[in-house]
Amino acid sequence: MDVELQWDDAQCVAVDRLEATARRLNRRRPWTGNRGPVGVYLWGPVGRGKTVVLDDFFSKVTVPKRRVHFHAFFDELHRSAHMSGSVDRAMGEILHGVRLLCFDEFHVHDVGDATLLTLLLKHIEARGITLVVTSNYPPNGLLPNPLFHHVFQPSIDWIERHLHVLPVDAGVDYRVGGTVNAENEYFASGRYIESDDPILPGEQSRQTLYPGSRGVSALEVDGSAVWFDFWDLCASPTAATDYLVLTETYRWWTISGVPPLVGAGPDAIRRFANVIDVLYDANVAITVIAEAPLTDLVAGAEGSVDLDRLTSRLSLLTASVSG
């Protein structure tokens, strides 16, 4: 049964632009790169319905298309580059035959990622691919570190020249109302447990997992379930690619010992945000055992990378207090 979606004012503007883009693509009209903006860049705070708008658009486009999440894209790129021996060749293989590329959760915090994304935009333009992006950041907010922002400025200029940049923010966080996409229902079925003295697995249950060349210590592994301590997972040099590999085997995760983030340090906060991103995108069930309720967990850490998105996703979990 088809359900008619009701859009707010900000979403209506985005939907109108995306519908025009869908009509152009479905007429198989090629992009020559010289007719002004043809793609779309949707940005705004978490929970404003950007993904729902993108879902609707993507379902209506009939040309060869791909939809990628930030972390999954880089994981695929690194794997392909390792096999082919060339990042440039790997990029071409990933984009081969694609007319539409939709990029969820577009963000740039690292100068290495900025370099790869600049290469991606060059491939997109050369191949006449239409790019549609969702992001929590306006284009000029990408790679905000003043030491490196200039590195990505040419790509920001490209985005503003080739994409219709549209804010999506009617002032309502729809996630607060408990709305969850079907593709994230297992993640949202998880729990957020406040406990300062949880019962943990015994030391004899500890195992070292190898998603890549680096080992990651797990408190316990039981079939497709895995249990990590926050500090083992987020204070060690783990990466989003490690989490992606682990989700292929482990579909039920527990992360315990999560402290108030203000004292965790920026690297641990960034890794925690990344792992929650990956689990959300992969629709993996998660139990978070934290030392404080969510509001206190993030208090004082304002300004940390992607903290708003981390908070929004953790708020989807059922909260309880234990011990």
What percent of the chain is predicted at pLDDT more than 90?
70
What's the pLDDT score for residue 110? Answer: 87
> Does residue 45 come out as left (phi exceeding 0), alpha (psi in the -120 to 50 range) or beta?
beta
Q: Judge whether residue 253 has pLDDT over 50.
A: yes
How far is the C-alpha of 149 from the C-alpha of 143, rounded, in Å? 5
Q: Judge whether residue 1 has pLDDT over 80.
A: no
Q: Judge whether residue 272 has pLDDT over 50.
A: yes
The sign one gets for the Cα dihedral 122, 19, 45, 2 is: negative
What's the pLDDT score for residue 267? Answer: 93
Q: Is 64 helix (H, G, I), strand (E, B) or coil?
A: coil
What's the pLDDT score for residue 213? Answer: 85
Q: Judge whether residue 240 has pLDDT over 80.
A: yes
Rounded to 5 degrees, what angle do the CA atoms 17, 21, 22 make? 115
More confident residue, 109 or 230: 230
What's the pLDDT score for residue 79? Answer: 86
Report strand pairing: 207-209 vs 191-194: unpaired
Q: Judge whether residue 156 has pLDDT over 80.
A: yes
Domain boundaries, the chain: 9-167, 181-321
Pick from 25-34, 60-69, 103-112, 130-139: least confident: 25-34
Instruction: Tell whether domain 9-167 is in CATH 3.40.50.300.
Output: yes
Region 131-137: what's the mean pLDDT? Answer: 94
Question: What's phi and psi for 260, nearest 5 deg?
Answer: -55, 125
| Among the listed residues 268, 277, 208, the one whose alpha carbon sits nearest the alpha carbon of residue 238 | 268
Give residue 28's pLDDT band: very low, low, confident or very high (50, 70, 90): confident
Same fold, 9-167 and 181-321: yes
Cα–Cα distances in angstroms (integers) from residue 305 to residues 73, 206, 237, 263, in the given order: 20, 31, 17, 15
Cα–Cα distances in angstroms (integers) from residue 290 to residues 60, 176, 196, 297, in the given order: 41, 20, 7, 8
Q: Judge whether residue 92 has pLDDT over 60.
A: yes
How far is the C-alpha of 74 from the C-alpha of 68, rounded, in Å? 10
How far is the C-alpha of 91 from the C-alpha of 101, rounded, in Å? 13
Cβ contact 61:25 at 8 Å? yes
What's the pLDDT score for residue 3? Answer: 44
How far is the C-alpha of 270 from the C-alpha of 280, rounded, in Å? 15
Query: Which stretches does DSSP call E strand in the chain?
Result: 39-43, 65-69, 100-104, 130-135, 163-167, 191-194, 207-209, 216-218, 220-222, 225-229, 252-258, 285-290, 318-321
Q: How many CA atoms lie within 13 A of 71 on its CB side?
A: 19
Residues 164-212: tens digit of each pLDDT: 999 998 666 666 555 556 567 889 899 999 998 889 999 999 999 999 8
DSSP one-letter string for 119-146: HHHHHHHHHT-EEEEEESS-GGGSS--T
Region 230-257: what's the mean pLDDT? Answer: 95
Q: Judge whether residue 59 has pLDDT over 60.
A: yes
Residues 291-319: tens digit of each pLDDT: 999 999 999 998 888 899 999 999 999 99
Give residue 216's pLDDT band: very low, low, confident or very high (50, 70, 90): very high
Helices 111-127 and 87-95, axial angle in degrees (round to 10): 50
What topology is assigned to 181-321 in CATH?
Rossmann fold (3.40.50)
Q: Judge whether residue 228 has pLDDT over 70.
A: yes
